[in-house]
Amino acid sequence: MTKQADLPEYLAQSGASHVHLGIFDPDGALRVKRVPAAKAAKMAGAGYQFCDVLYAWDTAEQTYGGGVYIDRPAVIFTDTVRPWPFEGNEALCLADFALPFGEVSARNQLLAQIEKARGMGFSVHSAFEFEFNLLEETAESLRAGGWADPTHFAQGNRTYSLGTLGEHHDLLTGLEAVMERLGIGFDAIHTELGPGCLEVPLAHAEGVKAADDAALFKNFARTYFRRHGLTACFMSKLKETLSGQSGHLHVSLRNLSDGAPAFHDPTAPDTISQLERWFIGGLMRLMPEWLALCSQTVNAYKRMVPGMWAPTYASWGIQNRTVALRVMNDSASAARVEFRVPSADTHPHAALAMCLGAGLWGIENRIEPPAPRDDDCYRTPPPEGADFPRDLREAADRLDASATARAVFGDAFIDTFVMARRAEDAAWRRHVTAWEVERYLETV
């Protein structure tokens, strides 16, 4: 990585011929423009422009709500420059819409929460881990088959499978090499439950880099596997017979004064500091009404049901994998909270902004959480007020009505986000599924 003013220097030293300027859209897809290096160097301070249609169309690029779709100024974050991971001596650098329009951006909202944490005396450290399915499909074969019953890669795969890792060693080490060029580290890579299912816990990072790494990982993993005739699927639930795919988020705070872990107190019960308790309290209180921020697709709500290794209501516990917030207290230096709600399809910047926003709100207001859970949360109903929205429409409605969300993130962001989620839900409700045709065509 380079320092804030070093993009021209980086380009001069690397000899890169072009720069891919990328901006994350509301669903976390990286939208890029490839420009000559000389042009990118000139724009390093002045910025660039992107069309605001990114905030007026859905994942299928169908516009909603109207607009004039103008180009708006964007800031180039020169400290994010890194090598382009494929052929050619080129570079990649991230950008985002400048304020005030940029208030609608999840990445800008995350930057604001990280700055807020710094003002409170903390640095933010986090890491995502993603489960995803590999399919023996190309873009062409998926469309030729009508998206129905896609063929899975490594169909004999099992959890922590030696066979899959050994048989496909070159493919997986190639993925790791691509990510290393992007400055993204792996904590591990292993197989998970189901055919062609992999999990990659990413190395932790400070500040916005963790979310940048997570979003870049998903985008470039899809590209890497497509180059090998495969499709990486980050859907929450690909099929009713398969388990859901998670996008767990690990979060911790450190004291700026001495770098000590703020979530660890050797004198406290279970070594959980008072600060961590308040952080958990804020998440417990706000999670049900803010859920759309980390679960922004229709499909995400198919995973949050009993038996899918996903939480079904706001809960917390120590090393308990049935809760929404799992406290990891086995190491003082790595004391953290694992936010187990996000799916693999989560927008990393929105998910981390949500987690930080709620946790810092909890610290500010000294919100005490309920007692930790040491039982199986799938076997008990949710306490009053802890239940999750049942679908994306209900989640959008709850977020829209949340006074705390508007106080933390502002009306512009919440209004834009809610409008997009309602448009996504409306698209789903207009769709007639194969299940409906099979169930009702001959019987009603």
- Distance between CA atoms of 218 and 232, rounded to whole angstroms? 9
- Distance between CA atoms of 4 and 239, rounded to whole angstroms? 44
Q: Is residue 197 predicted with pLDDT exceeding 90?
A: yes
Which stretches of 312-391 are DSSP H helices? 348-365
Contact 234, 316 (CB under 8 A): no
Tell me the sheet residues that pair with 82: 92
- Distance between CA atoms of 151 and 141, rounded to whole angstroms? 10
pLDDT of residue 295: 98
pLDDT of residue 53: 96
pLDDT of residue 62: 93
Which region among 10-24, 57-71, 397-411 has the lowest average model confidence (pLDDT)? Answer: 57-71
Integer CA distances (angstroms), 30 to 21, 96, 136, 187, 217, in order: 9, 11, 24, 23, 11
C-alpha dihedral sign at 193, 162, 249, 368 = positive
Q: Which domains does the chain have, with CATH numbers?
A: 7-98 (3.10.20.70), 115-440 (3.30.590.10)
pLDDT of residue 8: 87
Query: Mean pLDDT over residues 105-120, rounded?
Result: 98
Cα 163 to the center of its chain, rounded Å: 29
The rounded mean pLDDT for the chain is 95
Of the pLDDT bands very low, low, confident and very high (cuts 50, 70, 90), residue 269 is very high
Of the pLDDT bands very low, low, confident and very high (cuts 50, 70, 90), residue 104 is very high
Q: Is residue 2 predicted with pLDDT exceeding 60?
A: no
Of the pLDDT bands very low, low, confident and very high (cuts 50, 70, 90), residue 172 is very high
- Distance between CA atoms of 208 and 329, rounded to whole angstroms? 24
Of the pLDDT bands very low, low, confident and very high (cuts 50, 70, 90), residue 256 is very high
- Residue that the structure tokens 């060029």 belong to: 181
For the record, the structure tokens of 434 come out as: 């194969």
Query: Mean pLDDT over residues 414-436, rounded?
Result: 95
For the record, the structure tokens of 405 come out as: 């969300």
Which backbone phi and psi does 80 adopt, to 5 degrees? -100, 5
Q: Is residue 1 predicted with pLDDT exceeding 60?
A: no
**Residue with the larger pLDDT of the pair 79 and 309:** 79
pLDDT of residue 3: 39
- pLDDT digit string, tens, across residues 358-396: 999 999 999 999 999 999 999 999 999 999 999 999 999
Strand order across the 71-83 sheet? 30-36, 18-24, 91-97, 71-83, 48-51
**Residue 299: what residue type?**
N
pLDDT of residue 7: 86
Query: Mean pLDDT over residues 97-114, rounded?
Result: 98
Contact 123, 72 (CB under 8 A): no
Tell me the sheet residues that pair with 264: 272
- pLDDT digit string, tens, across residues 83-99: 999 999 999 999 999 99
- Residue that the structure tokens 């959008």 belong to: 396
Local structure of residue 56 (DSSP, 8 states): T
pLDDT of residue 5: 46
Among the listed residues 212, 280, 291, the one whose alpha carbon sits nearest the alpha carbon of residue 251: 280
pLDDT of residue 163: 84
Q: Is residue 4 predicted with pLDDT exceeding 80?
A: no
Q: Is residue 335 predicted with pLDDT exceeding 50?
A: yes
Of the pLDDT bands very low, low, confident and very high (cuts 50, 70, 90), residue 28 is very high
